[in-house]
Amino acid sequence: MEFKKSLKLANVFYDIRGPVLQEAKRLEEEGHRILKLNIGNPTPFGFNAPDEIITDVIRNLPSAEGYSDSKGIYSARKAVMQYYQQKRVANVDVEDVILGNGVSELIVMTTQAILNDGDQVLVPAPDYPLWTGAVTLAGGKAVHYLCDEAQDWYPDLDDMRAKITERTKAIVVINPNNPTGAVYPKEILEGILQLAREHQLIVLADEIYDKITYDGVEHFTMAALADDVLTLTFNGLSKVYRLAGFRSGWIMVSGPKHKARDLLEGLNMLASMRLCANVPAQHAIQTSLGGYQSIYDLTKPGGRMCEQRNLAWEMLTAIPGITCVKPKGALYLFPRIDIRKFNIQNDERFVLDFLREQKILLVHGRAFNWPEVDHFRVVFLPNHETLTEALGKLEQFLSSYQQ
């Protein structure tokens, strides 16, 4: 007898760590060194967390041995509340904050809490695929609205509107966006909020890259733009504070909470079923959010993240057959590849061919629920020298590639 995975996993995918990564691991076991440009994990590329955060966590370790409140320790939740008060989100309270083991856990909890079988959620295409996977796992249906490459990858509001049905429960907005690097203007966010208002939808705002923007582009917290739309804002320490391994994130609930008592009771129940988030990492939140924000040293002109974004974009767009919208935020580029020129039928195969030949790992566009085979994602976290070498190898590889 063969032991099978459950049927509810049949259509659940997370290909960023899927088959292409398996192949990379196999090559590593053969003794090859693989440059992994597949995940947004800042620390291995020398983007370390600020010392003061680590010191604070160490100092608090002796008092972090036991479980905490299911929603998290008070000081951290208060710091999150104050963070959003400063952003002028109306009417928020410590009780509206739930801490989790990274945004990932909170995405899975939230979709479980809000969806009945067959309920629909509007999710961007391309997306960060955990959203589609979590909606599917919860019995819901991810309906993808297009983000328009010709319009700097902004969400297409007409497409979004056309896809709202009686079963639509929520809209996911990832801003700044992974994988496109788009940062949305206020008008687009207001347009989405208007749709949510008209159709009584919950806004699920994934703002984990909120402080990672370039060229002086301003990030708008969606929750601050409307106090009459139920909004769950997701954020955490993985990116801005380079603490992905701590697994620390939060949800901030805002808007007409009096209409969501039952839903929030469900969410709290799920939080209590997993007892609490990792307590030592909760102690990193207050010190992260307060005081000096070292991320701006990295994102300003001359800062490492900004310069690497520039370099990667310049090198990629100089390759014949590649075009790319310049990212205004986050850690990724999502270039378009001329599929006719290279006769590409399968984007995963393209990524595997490049991996096997040059030992560099990218992620194919369809892993982000992009409907065509004409994109891939690359992380621009490696230093100048490594990026130059890697993208040089891509150019060389493509100079003779035919699928």
Contact flag: residue 210 with ligand PLP (CB under 6 A): no
* Interface residue with ligand PLP, options 104, 110, 180, 233 (CB under 6 A): 104
Determine how β-strand 322-323 pairs with β-strand 332-333.
unpaired
Q: Which is nearer to ligand PLP, 244 or 362 (CB)?
A: 244
Q: Which is nearer to ligand PLP, 131 or 401 (CB)?
A: 131
* Interface residue with ligand PLP, options 206, 307, 347, 348 (CB under 6 A): 206
Size of the site for ligand PLP (CB under 6 A): 13
CB of 94 to ligand PLP, least distance (A): 21
Residue type for position 211: K
Q: Omega into 301 within 30° of 0, i.e. cis? A: no
Report the residue number whose CB is nearest to ligand PLP. 102
Q: Which is nearer to ligand PLP, 72 or 319 (CB)?
A: 72
* Interface residue with ligand PLP, options 208, 306, 333, 398 (CB under 6 A): 208
Is the Cβ–Cβ distance between 330 and 184 less than 8 Å? Answer: no
- Listing DSSP states for 103-159 in one string gives HHHHHHHHHHHH--TT-EEEEEES--THHHHHHHHTT-EEEEEEEEGGGTTEE-HHH
Contact flag: residue 155 with ligand PLP (CB under 6 A): no
CB of 214 to ligand PLP, least distance (A): 17
* Interface residue with ligand PLP, options 249, 255, 335, 382 (CB under 6 A): 249
Contact flag: residue 40 with ligand PLP (CB under 6 A): yes
Binding mask 310-349 for ligand PLP (x = CB under 6 A): ----------------------------------------
Q: Omega into 179 within 30° of 0, i.e. cis? A: yes
- What is the distance between the alpha carbons of residues 311 and 316, in angstroms, rounded to a whole number? 8
What's 339's DSSP letter?
A: H
Give the binding range for ligand PLP (CB under 6 A) out of 63-71, 109-117, 236-244, 256-264: 236-244
Q: How far is CA 239 from CA 61, 128, 139, 252, 329, in A?
A: 23, 14, 29, 18, 12
Q: Which is nearer to ligand PLP, 156 or 206 (CB)?
A: 206
Contact flag: residue 124 with ligand PLP (CB under 6 A): no
Q: Which is nearer to ligand PLP, 27 or 146 (CB)?
A: 146
The values of phi and psi at residue 190, to 5°, are -65, -35
Contact flag: residue 128 with ligand PLP (CB under 6 A): yes
* Interface residue with ligand PLP, options 38, 110, 136, 238 (CB under 6 A): 238
Chain centroid offset of residue 62 CA: 32
Q: Which is nearer to ligand PLP, 276 or 344 (CB)?
A: 276
Is the Cβ–Cβ distance between 141 and 168 less than 8 Å? Answer: no
Is the Cβ–Cβ distance between 210 and 176 less than 8 Å? Answer: yes
Gyration radius from the chain CA atoms: 21
- What is the distance between the alpha carbons of residues 114 and 118, in angstroms, rounded to a whole number? 12
* Interface residue with ligand PLP, options 189, 244, 252, 289 (CB under 6 A): 244
- What is the distance between the alpha carbons of residues 185 and 4, in angstroms, rounded to a whole number? 46
- What is the distance between the alpha carbons of residues 177 and 131, in angstroms, rounded to a whole number? 13
Residues 64-103 that bind ligand PLP (CB under 6 A): 102-103
Is the Cβ–Cβ distance between 400 and 381 less than 8 Å? Answer: no
Q: Which is nearer to ligand PLP, 205 or 226 (CB)?
A: 205
Contact flag: residue 390 with ligand PLP (CB under 6 A): no
* Interface residue with ligand PLP, options 72, 236, 255, 327 (CB under 6 A): 236
Contact flag: residue 243 with ligand PLP (CB under 6 A): no
What's 283's DSSP letter?
A: H
Binding mask 156-185 for ligand PLP (x = CB under 6 A): ------------------x---x-------
Instruction: Kindly give, in sequence order, each residue whose CB lies less than 8 Å from that of residue 69, ignoring residues fewer than 6 positions away.
Output: 276
Q: H/E element holding 199?
A: helix 186-199
Residues interacting with ligand PLP, by CB under 6 A? Answer: 40, 102-104, 128, 174, 178, 206, 208, 236, 238, 244, 249
